A and B are shown apart, each in its own frame.
Chain A
Amino acid sequence: MTSKYRPTLPSTFLNMSQPNTTFPRLLAEHARRQPDAPAMREKDLGIWQAWTWQQVAREVREMACGLASLGFAAHDNLAIVGANRPRLYMTALAAQSLRGVPVPLYQDAVAGEMTFMLEDAGVRFVIAEDQEQVDKLLECREQWPRLAHIIYEDPRGLRNYDQPGLLSLEQLRERGRAFDAQHPEHFERAVASALPDDVAVILYTSGTTGRPKGVCQTHASFIAAGRGGVESDRLGPGDDIMSYLPMAWVGDHLFSVAQWLVGGFTLNCPESSETVMNDMREIGPTYYFGPPRTFEGLLTSVSIRMEDAATLKRWLYAKCMALARRVGADILNGAPVSALDRLRYRLGDLLVYGPLRNMLGMSRIRVAYTAGAAIGPDLFRFYRSIGVNLKQFYGQTETCAYVCLQQDGKVKLTSVGTAAPGMELRIADNGEVLVRGVSVLKEYYKRPEATAEVLDAEGYFHTGDAGVIDSEGHLRIIDRAKDVGRMNTGAMFAPNYIENKLKFFPQIKEAVCFGHARDEVCAFINIDYEAVGNWAERRGLPYGGYVDLAGKPEVLALVAECIGRVNADLAAEEGMADTQIARFLVLHKELDPDDDELTRTRKVRRGHVADKYRVLVDALYGGKTEQFIETQVKFEDGRTGTVSATLSIVPAQRYPAVRAAA
């Protein structure tokens, strides 16, 4: 397993001692030092086509000169709309070469959203992938007439378009060659004029809260973030990465642009969004990123296929996976494992883990990352136990997705790692994570007041996430800062964090925890009707509908067991022991958006639930053992009715706080 790490790889391939550089200069340096090494690949017509660094540099130059011939100059913004295509990445570099700023936009945004961003960034030039995007941009132009030039990569279906300002990328390069011949020094001069503190890219935030904001990041920030990752994981020539996540997402810009240019490895673009899995198997990337749901989807497909396998294979798989669960993660972490187990694991690798990794396209993976949402513990352990070095990181658009990294050998399931090189962490009094360092944003584009809100006088960026730093410096993200409360004991109370732990149990569908300004934490639980119903049937436990099932003593015992395990978990975590659940009740009805208890995206409306079920909350904290409640419900056909029940209030098993968790 140790062979997967390549400790001998030169960590600073490019001798990047001088940090004062820009992306176009990094590209030029690669073109000089490793001209014939593959820089990018894309599968086209069923065959992987490669561009060498030299070719990339030449095409970027042609595109830049083409843009210059159209009047694109320093500080102009170039919007890029499309999937991960090598030439779209090149256009970003072309814009930067002229000291302009690429603005990648999400290709699935509708015309209205896109118009907003084009207008906000004052975009006059846009690169579009294909007809679909061109049509949308032409629609945008009706609202934003200053959009003068639309340059498209794929000419299919665009032959009969005669709108002004339409140009194919091929034609742009043609113009570029002519311009270059007439102004041979223009390109070099422009590249030389760019400063590391110039804005390198504007990335739009998703805008879940209010209008999207354009985050301005400089060359220096992104290059520092890229270098931190490259050095931590010793990435360099010979490594392969799959670029398949949206170009407008900060993570893709970190992996596929910043780290690519700093490390000098090879970027691989899939043939289409549907072929990613297959392309991955062919390329066998050494470096990979996927959101948790991707890893979950892969595991599910493996499990389903294993259930259909022959008995002998299933037996072998179960045996090997049990061994992997026991020792796999330790072997990967370099922890001590007995020689016999090592031998067994090697056999398992030959028979199961190796072929499995191959199926997943992960045979050559040295480093895989996930981020963006909480990853289930079983899922995380599964990948690590079969020898995939899956790690987590933490960051946001405002920090180039670069705040914390899990270092090899120091991977903790619950944390997102320690502060990345060049970054500083602090926890504010309200529990909010504050970040200072190389990757923090320069500003929001044309929004000084929004910038002032998130960047304080000391240069700390306010992430809006609540977290805890443990004794070893690992950061654990627990909740959104605005949801975090404080208990009377002074302990921080993070309801989502506890509720998520509860919801990892299939029997628990929904949970609502109370604890802000209280002495103890109490919880409402919604059972999962299907899972618990199934469980009851298998045990021959008769029940008459949801209300009856939810009130069964056996079901209460089942839920109490789950809560006991969550409490044991909380007791083992620093600063969380006080937030163990003291008492709970199982609600007689499912929380429902129709009754305004959940949002349409199925998030609990905490305040509303607390008001509506005030009698229950009072009963939980009032020392009662049961409480009668009658609730009005809306049926799907619009009629209303009432549900009533007497709910038992059950105490939960609590544990003493464990110091210095293993």
Chain B
Amino acid sequence: MNARAMDLPPQAAPQGDDAPPPARRIGESILEVKNISLAFGGVKALSDISFDVREHEVRAIIGPNGAGKSSMLNCINGVYTPQQGSITFRGQTFRHMNSRQVAEMGVARTFQNLALFKGMSVLDNIMSGRNLKMKSGLLAQALRWGPAEREELAHREFVERIIDFLEIQAWRKTPVGRLPYGLQKRVDLGRALAMEPQVLLLDEPMAGMNVEEKQDMCRFVLDVNDEFGTTIVLIEHDMGVVMDISDRVVVLDYGRKIGDGTPDEVRADPEVIRAYLGTTH
């Protein structure tokens, strides 16, 4: 499908107000990671990693336990500062970033161990993702001052669209702590979407899910990518899932990059097979 979509010249996209936005096309590289090295004391988590992410693609990072996948994501996200290397986002190069800057630039993420507000409702959790977009001050919000109220209405509508998109209407007012794990993961995704991100970092979105929940999640990830054109970088353990939904895959092992390419290329790469999938002797 991607190949066909890429063949289309840009002007072939439908025009006009009613026309749906153009179909997903993989564009230029928007995020580039160059020669990143990260060490915790003597432990080298990442050594000399480089790869790029193109606009509108689904990019997966895979590797065995302890390969450095989450560390990589944390570097992009500004949680860790790598000792060496640089990250280029939309032409701007950074030595290190802080999380807020990253968020303001349009990068959102979800967490492997869910960092939701357990006592708050689904609605409020997702609403918290709109925080950066809210302009009115604390006092105005508390008093429901005219403009603040209008702003709140607009944000609520946006959040409702996400709730609709993720099909979690039935739990709108339920405290997140009372939801099953698979649904909490969906709420986590919803909160990230509330930021209207250009790049979405997903840390093991299917971990701990049953087959049905995984299928649902795959569909949501693909739909996000398809409907909003969001670029997606995801870490995943489940090889089947990765190979099905990604456009390109980076393979890490012991903090080194050992493979990079389309799922088919990666699957055929002898070094990847040896390190990750295991070999038969």
> Shortest Cβ distance from A135 into chain B, in angstroms?
11
Q: Which residues of A contact B234 (CB under 8 A)?
A: none
Could you list 21 A-B pairs, sorted by A, with CB under 8 Å? A44-B164, A45-B160, A45-B163, A45-B164, A46-B156, A46-B160, A46-B172, A47-B160, A155-B20, A156-B227, A157-B226, A157-B227, A159-B21, A159-B227, A160-B5, A160-B23, A271-B169, A272-B167, A272-B170, A274-B169, A275-B169
Binding site for B on A (CB under 8 A): 43-47, 155-157, 159-160, 170, 271-272, 274-275, 278
How many angstroms from the CA of A47 to the CA of B160 in the assembled complex? Answer: 9
B24 CB-CB contact with A under 8 Å = yes
List residues of B (162-194) whose CB comes within 8 Å of A's CBs. 163-165, 167, 169-170, 172
A residues in contact with B264, CB < 8 Å:
none
Cβ of B24 to closest chain A Cβ, rounded Å = 7
Q: Which chain B positions have C-beta within 8 A of A160?
A: 1, 5, 23-24, 226
* The residue from A46, A157, A278 contacting B163, defined by CB atoms under 8 A apart: A46
Give chain B's interface secondary structure class. Answer: helix
B-side interface size class: 20 to 34
Q: Enumerate B5-30 residues with CB–CB distance to A below 8 Å.
A: 5, 18, 20-21, 23-24
Query: In the assembly, what is the distance between CA of A44 and CA of B160, in Å?
Result: 9
- Given A45-B164, A160-B24, A160-B226, the answer on whether A272 and B5 have CB atoms closer than 8 Å is no
- Whether, in the assembled complex, B161 has its beta carbon less than 8 Å from a beta carbon of chain A, the answer is yes
Residues of A within 8 A of B161 (CB): 45
Asked if B104 lies at the interface with its beta carbon under 8 angstroms from chain A, I say no
11 further A-B contacts with Cβ under 8 Å, apart from A159-B23, A272-B167, are A44-B164, A46-B156, A46-B160, A155-B20, A157-B223, A157-B226, A159-B20, A159-B21, A271-B169, A272-B170, A275-B169
Given contacts A156-B223, A274-B170, A278-B170, contact A45 B157 (CB under 8 A): yes
Once bound together, how far apart are the Cα atoms of A58 and B156, in whole Å? 30
- Min CB gap A90→B, angstroms: 20
Closest approach, in angstroms, between the C-beta of A87 and any C-beta of chain B? Answer: 16
Which residues of A sit under 8 angstroms from B160, Cβ to Cβ?
45-47
- For B226, what are the chain A residues with a Cβ–Cβ distance below 8 Å? 157, 159-160
Q: In angstroms, how far is the closest chain B Cβ from the Cβ of A533?
A: 32
Residues of A close to B163: CB separation below 8 A: 45-46
Interface centre among A43, A45, A272, A275 (most CB of B within 10 A): A45
- Name the A residues within 8 Å of B164 (CB-CB): 44-45
Distance between B230 CB and nearest chain A CB, rounded to angstroms: 14
CA distance A157 to B226 in the complex (A): 7
Do A272 and B169 touch (CB < 8 A)? yes
B143 to chain A, nearest CB (A): 23
Bound-state Cα–Cα, A44 to B170, Å? 12
In the docked arrangement, what's the CA distance between A272 and B163, Å?
12
Distance in angstroms between the alpha carbons of A46 and B158 in the assembled complex: 11
Q: What separation, in Å, do the CA atoms of A313 and B223 have in the docked complex?
A: 48
Cβ of B13 to closest chain A Cβ, rounded Å: 11
- Expressed in whole angstroms, the minimum distance between the Cβ of A266 and any Cβ of chain B is 21
CA distance A271 to B163 in the complex (A): 11
Contact of B170 among A156, A157, A275 (CB under 8 A): A275
Query: What separation, in Å, do the CA atoms of A275 and B172 have in the docked complex?
Result: 10
Give per-residue flags for B203-227: 1 if the beta carbon is below 8 A from chain A beta carbons, else 0.
Answer: 0000000000000000000010011
CA distance A272 to B226 in the complex (A): 23
Most chain A Cβ neighbours within 10 Å, of B18, B156, B164, B170: B170
**B116 to chain A: closest CB distance in Å?**
20
Residues of B within 8 A of A275 (CB): 169-170
* Nearest neighbor of A270 in chain B, beta-carbon distance: B169
Which B-chain residue is minimally distant from A275 (CB atoms)? B170
Specify the chain B residue showing the minimal Cβ separation from A171.
Answer: B18
A272 to B1, CA, bound (A): 31
Shortest Cβ gap from A607 to chain B (Å): 40
Q: Which residues of A contact B18 (CB under 8 A)?
A: 170
Closest Cβ of chain A to B222, distance in Å, is 8
Residues in B neighbouring A271, C-beta threshold 8 A: 169-170
Among B20, B24, B161, find the residue whose CB has the most chain A CB atoms closer than 10 A. B20
**Which 6 residue pairs are nearest across A and B when measured between Cβ atoms?**
A274-B170, A45-B160, A275-B170, A271-B169, A46-B160, A160-B23
Instruction: Report the minimal beta-carbon distance from B124 to chain A, rounded to whole angstroms.
Output: 13
- Write out the residue numbers on chain A whose beta carbons fall within 8 Å of the beta carbon of B165: 156
A-chain residues with CB within 8 Å of residue B20 when the two chains form the complex? 155, 159
Complex formed: what's the CA distance from A206 to B165 in Å? 32
A278 to B161, CA, bound (A): 19
* Binary per-residue interface labels of chain B (128-150) against chain A in the complex, 1 for a CB within 8 Å, 0 otherwise: 00000000000000000000000
- In the assembly, what is the distance between CA of A47 and CA of B164, in Å? 12
Minimal beta-carbon separation of B65 from chain A (angstroms): 34
Alpha-carbon distance between A411 and B265 when the two chains are bound, in angstroms: 72
Chain B: minimal CB distance from A174 (Å)? 8
Residues of A within 8 A of B156 (CB): 46
CA distance A272 to B172 in the complex (A): 12
Nearest A residue to B223 by beta-carbon distance?
A157
A572 to chain B, nearest CB (A): 45
A44 to B1, CA, bound (A): 32
Q: How far is the CA of A322 from the CA of B256 in the complex (A)?
A: 73
Which residues does chain B contribute within 8 Å of A157, judged by CB atoms?
223, 226-227
Interface core residue of B21, B24, B164 (most chain A CB under 10 Å): B164
Closest to A157 in B: B223
A47 CB, nearest partner CB in chain B, Å: 8
Question: What is the minimal beta-carbon distance from B226 to any residue of chain A, in angstroms?
Answer: 6
Contacts of A45 in B (CB 8 A): 157, 160-161, 163-164
- Chain A contacts of B24 at CB under 8 A? 160
CA A159 – CA B226 in complex, angstroms? 8
Chain A proximity of B175: nearest CB distance (Å): 15
Nearest Cβ distance between residue A308 and chain B, in whole angstroms?
15
Which residues of the other chain, B, contact A272 by a CB distance below 8 angstroms? Answer: 167, 169-170
Bound together, the chains give a CA A159 to CA B161 distance in angstroms of: 18
What's the minimum C-beta distance from B249 to chain A, rounded to whole angstroms? 22
Q: In the bound complex, how far is the Cα of B20 from the Cα of A45, in angstroms?
A: 20
